[in-house]
Amino acid sequence: MAVRPVLKMGDPLLFEVARPVERFDTPELRALLVDMHDTMMALNGAGLAAPQIGVSLQVVVFGLEHNPRYPQAEQVPYTVLINPELEPLGDDMEEGWEGCLSVPGMRGLVPRFKRLRYRGYDSLGQPIERSVEGFHARVVQHEVDHLRGILYPMRIRDLRNFGFNETLFPGQGLADD
Residue 143 is a catalytic residue? yes
- Given 16, 65, 143, 166, which residue is catalytic? 143
Q: How far is the CB of 23 from Ni ion (least distance, A)?
A: 26
Q: How far is the CB of 62 from Ni ion (least distance, A)?
A: 10
Query: Could you give the CA distance from residue 69 to residue 64 in angstroms, rounded to a whole number?
Result: 10
Q: Are 79 and 128 in contact (CB under 8 A)?
A: yes
Q: How far is the CB of 170 from Ni ion (least distance, A)?
A: 23
Return the number of the residue (64 or 100) whose C-beta is nearest Ni ion: 100
Which residues form the interface with Ni ion (CB under 5 A)?
100
86, 15, 60, 139 alpha-carbon torsion, rounded to 10°:
-60
**CB neighbourhood size of 166 (10 A):** 14
With CB atoms as reference, the residue minimizing the distance to Ni ion is 100
Q: What is the DSSP letter of 8?
A: -
H or E segment at 83?
strand 76-88
Return the number of the residue (21 or 60) whose C-beta is nearest Ni ion: 60
Return the number of the residue (59 or 100) whose C-beta is nearest Ni ion: 100
Residues annotated as part of the active site: 143
